[in-house]
Structure 1
Amino acid sequence: MELLKSSKKYQLFINGEWKNSISNQFIEVINPATGNIVGQVASGNIVETKEAIDAACDSFFSWSKETSKARADILMRLYFLLLENEEYLASVITNEMGKPIVQARKEVQTAAEHFRWNAEEARRIYGQTIQSSEKQKRLSIIRQPVGPVAAITPWNFPLSMVARKLAPALASGCTIVLKPAEQTPISAIELFKLAEKAGVPNGVINLVIGNPKEIGDVLLEDKRIRKITFTGSTEVGKLLYKNAAKQVKRVSMELGGHAPMIVFEDCDLESTVNQVVKSKFNNTGQTCVSPNRIYVQQSIKDSFINLFKEQVQSLKMGYGIDENIDVGPVVNQSGLDKVKKHVEDAIQKGATLVVGGTVSDKANHKNGYFYEPTVLDHVDEQMLITNQETFGPVAPIFSFETEDEVVKKANNTDYGLAAYIFTENLSRSVRVSEALEYGMVGINDTVLSQVEGSFGGIKESGIGREGGPGCLEEFLETKWITSTIRD
């Protein structure tokens, strides 16, 4: 069933009010599985962005001075509201970006957990008192919110990525202007409705949707915005980073990935294949930590491919509102074209097609962006798929002989977000995990994104971390205070 209606119109949220844009223009949100319009969203630009910044700045003083308990209480209310509305929110995610409903429910649960974790952390913003070498001196360090924040989120996790930025900002005492991806804005809109119910004061959170460049330029140019937090492509991240530097704005960025997955001959083969399939085809391969290069030791490669092929062929692809669907569509035509280009290039340059390799021709897929789950063998370093992030349901398999050889190949990229190792050898797991140039490494584990963990990359995969015990650090400034006490 399709719960969103094409006739429904959604508004922007600025200073506690839902409103249309001055231009009265709307963005059509398309279901990538069916081609149907699932809603029309008001398209704001420069005027609305400036209004949102004004509101965030005007409300900053009162919100930043609010007690940590009061802020935590609001976040906890939002946590419960998300869980109460789990089924509806999951259907929104499935309809606007194609994610299978089972995976969409997990995204809602993760989004809720971000609010609970940060509610708990809100009451643990500590300072320090330092003993001075002078009797009359008193020395201390306090932590204060950085100021109004601009957050820009991607389409592939349209609810949890918003939560991952909103929750620590609010917990720290910052106010927010959020620009979600124009492909998937409805999840953010529904979250803001719940935030309103939870008691977030007017002006503390503001939602603008529209032309990314126009909105982004206003956010970057306004000196009152003290921090940019962004999740998206490395290409866009570099532009934001460059422009933020003009004002020395604080930035945190989770950018592109090109994750290697290394399968050693001493792994538990069946368990490894199960995890690799689940990780590779989660969200139709449209995740920044998706394994894009699967390195399998030569001695077990044939056995690995046979098991892998069998499992991939059993995956069910379709409109994700069906409980039995494993793989949905890619998000749009450009995403589909990129997948096709990478596969065609690999085959032309000598890769072997194991399974898949084509746009689905099934009747119930004809209006969507469906690409068959695909496995390629004999992939090498000259192919596009080896050097670019595919963001689709394609698993390229490489072979290797030695540990040193595969570590060198895995590190041969400008990206440094996530990497994976499968081995039963403890010493090897330590050696390789420490040698890999990535911000996150999973050992016999592919679930890296957890609210308790520190999520982020190195090299061109980003700056800063999200989640975990240090989740508020990115939204706090350190102030050093000295005073002289009179006798």
Structure 2
Amino acid sequence: MTNAPRYNLFIDGAWTAPGSNEWIAVENPATGETVAHVAKGDAGDVEKAVSAAQKAFPAWSRKTALERADYLLALNTLIERDKERLAATITSEMGKPLKEARGEIDFAIGLIRFAAENTRRLEGEIVPGSTPDEKILIDRVPHGVIGGIAAWNFPFALCARKIGPAIAAGNTVVVKPHELTPFAGLEMARLVEEAKIPNGVVNIVTGDGPDVGVPLVAHPLTKLITMTGSTPAGKKIMAAAAEHLKEVRLELGGKAPFIVMEDADIEKAAQAAIESRFTNAGQVCTCNERTYVHEAVYDAFTSKIREKISGLKVGSPTDPDTDMGPKVSLAELEKVHAMVEGAVRQGGKLEVGGHRLTGPEYDKGFYYAPTLLTDVRQDMDIAHNEVFGPVLSVIRVADFDQALAFANDCRYGLSAYLFTRDLGRILRMTRELEFGEIYVNRGGGEAPQGYHHGYGESGLGGEDGKHGLEAYVQTKTIYLNA
């Protein structure tokens, strides 16, 4: 693409050239074309952004809840107006099919709407005092400057997930989009500007992890860090944040088990397994990463899965008939292929796919064939390491006990799925399945009013809903006497 647009940083309400005078080329993973150049920020730019956010915080935090909500609703109106353009932006930098990109914009709108509607529900408490004339007030107040770090797989929605609740609660924010997909976050900044959100309340600094992410986390004025990304990156952020004892909210990797019992609706379960694995080319932290199927329906279920995978259309993400687009990068594609090859070496059977797609439609992009592995065992590497790609692994189980044991044999604890008609099993699952988010007899996809969180190496804290919003305030206890 010739004449690709160039984006500066968005700091203190102004578009600001990077101190490094360097730029990052953003490539379309479907075509290899450069779709934009974005500023390569550095520690100096982070300093400017955090300072701007700190300067804006007193006035913003003093605004009423309703005033903050009105700004967010104005932002949402602009997002709704520009839905098609924003969806095309996501598709161009991330390779997500356009119909899925539209869904991402809808999800972002829902996240911001929930934050706006609930600004007046951040309520304090009154506790009886220690003397007859005393009252103890427990207030909820904003932290100050929030540092947000977004992953590349949902570039617009993750920025909305950081910005919406942060500023709804009275904080100001500095967001670092991922360097592979920074375009959508900067488009969000354009709308923040148009919505006339006061200068410094929202700042967007693009760049890589060492130059932008590290100084943002380490800055003494950022009071809370909210990050979506990989588990190794999350551990580094937690370690860096410890120096200033700042709070962290980490939404990290996942290895979701997808349990299908012999009494399940097999057609419904198979369709959900496909959607929960191949949406966004498998690049979703809640994706079906390992499918546990009762031996009584293993053959029937596998046959349905094989048929459905063979029917998926892989191609241009702008084609309305496309079911799956490319991987986000060559490195990601090669990682997935190495995991498939490793599974086959360890005894897995390659039923469908297992290779990079070639041909005129695919050669310029990073397309990987939808893949089915059967005869996968619990002791294989692919049953424990996050694939984050279009590979469905099927593992046979003898009964519900074994399914639960295998599901919990995991260092991650984000999402899980269960298909059964047995209420007893469902109730037992609520006690024994060690995951923060469980989908029963349905495919994936969290709701803005829910609570998106995990256990173990899937992170700390959570996002969305009232519990996610409450993470953006801290308590202040006041012993009130006349």
- Give the TM-score, by structure 1 length: 0.97
User: Structure 1 CA distance, aligned partners of 2:114 and 2:3?
Assistant: 35
Measured after TM superposition, the shift of residue 217 of structure 1 is 2.4
The number of residues matched between the two structures is: 482
Match of 2:33 in 1: 36
Measured after TM superposition, the shift of residue 5 of structure 1 is 5.9
Shifted more, 159-168 versus 433-442: the winner is 433-442
Code of the residue aligned with 1:21 in structure 2: it is: P
Measured after TM superposition, the shift of residue 164 of structure 1 is 0.7
Code of the residue aligned with 1:244 in structure 2: it is: A
Match of 1:203 in 2: 200
SS at match of 2:222: coil
SS at match of 1:159: helix
Match of 1:236 in 2: 233
SS at match of 2:259: strand
Match of 1:392 in 2: 389
**8 Å contact from structure 2 (residues 41, 211) kept in 1:** no
Shifted more, 84-93 versus 379-388: the winner is 379-388
Cα-Cα RMSD: 1.1
Match of 2:169 in 1: 172
Match of 1:77 in 2: 74
**8 Å contact from structure 2 (residues 286, 444) kept in 1:** no
Q: 2:417 aligned to 416, 420, 428, which one?
A: 420
State yes or no: 1:142 paired with 2:134. no
Q: 1:246 aligned to 239, 243, 251, which one?
A: 243
Q: 1:156 aligned to 153, 156, 161, which one?
A: 153
Measured after TM superposition, the shift of residue 264 of structure 1 is 0.4
SS at match of 2:71: helix
User: Structure 2 CA distance, aligned partners of 1:74 and 1:484?
Assistant: 37
Match of 1:431 in 2: 428
User: Structure 2 CA distance, aligned partners of 1:331 and 1:92?
Assistant: 14
What are the within-5 Å matches in structure 2 for residues 332-343 of structure 1? Answer: 332-343=329-340
Q: 1:374 aligned to 365, 368, 371, which one?
A: 371
**8 Å contact from structure 1 (residues 5, 39) kept in 2:** no
Match of 1:484 in 2: 481
User: Structure 1 CA distance, aligned partners of 2:333 and 2:127?
Assistant: 58
SS at match of 1:363: coil
1:52-87 CA-to-partner distances (Å, cap 9, x unmatched) read 010010111111111111100010111111111110
Match of 1:221 in 2: 218
State yes or no: 1:278 paired with 2:275. yes
User: Structure 1 CA distance, aligned partners of 2:256 and 2:361?
Assistant: 32
State yes or no: 1:315 paired with 2:317. no
Q: 1:55 to 1:5 in 2, by over 3 A?
A: farther
Structure 2, unaligned stretches of length 5 or more?
Answer: none
SS at match of 2:35: strand
Match of 2:354 in 1: 357
Code of the residue aligned with 1:436 in structure 2: it is: L
Shifted more, 195-204 versus 123-132: the winner is 123-132
Q: 1:424 to 1:192 in 2, by over 3 A?
A: same
**8 Å contact from structure 1 (residues 231, 253) kept in 2:** yes
User: Structure 2 CA distance, aligned partners of 1:247 and 1:450?
Assistant: 33
User: Structure 2 CA distance, aligned partners of 1:20 and 1:35?
Assistant: 26
User: Structure 2 CA distance, aligned partners of 1:214 and 1:328?
Assistant: 30
User: Structure 1 CA distance, aligned partners of 2:445 and 2:83?
Assistant: 23
Measured after TM superposition, the shift of residue 6 of structure 1 is 5.0
Code of the residue aligned with 2:236 in structure 1: it is: L
Q: 1:405 to 1:6 in 2, by over 3 A?
A: farther
User: Structure 2 CA distance, aligned partners of 1:167 and 1:160?
Assistant: 10
Match of 1:259 in 2: 256
User: Structure 1 CA distance, aligned partners of 2:332 and 2:136?
Assistant: 55
- Give the TM-score, by structure 2 length: 0.98
User: Structure 1 CA distance, aligned partners of 2:8 and 2:219?
Assistant: 24
Q: 2:463 aligned to 448, 463, 466, which one?
A: 466
Match of 1:90 in 2: 87
User: Structure 2 CA distance, aligned partners of 1:92 and 1:220?
Assistant: 28
Match of 1:405 in 2: 402
User: Structure 1 CA distance, aligned partners of 2:137 and 2:19?
Assistant: 48
1:400-429 CA-to-partner distances (Å, cap 9, x unmatched) read 001111111111111000010000111111
Give the 4+ runs in structure 1 shifted more than 4 A.
none
Measured after TM superposition, the shift of residue 362 of structure 1 is 2.4
Shifted more, 213-222 versus 348-357: the winner is 213-222
Measured after TM superposition, the shift of residue 176 of structure 1 is 0.4
1:26-75 CA-to-partner distances (Å, cap 9, x unmatched) read 10001111111111111111111100010010111111111111100010
1:338-361 CA-to-partner distances (Å, cap 9, x unmatched) read 111011111111111111111112
SS at match of 1:396: strand
User: Structure 1 CA distance, aligned partners of 2:108 and 2:459?
Assistant: 21
SS at match of 1:29: strand
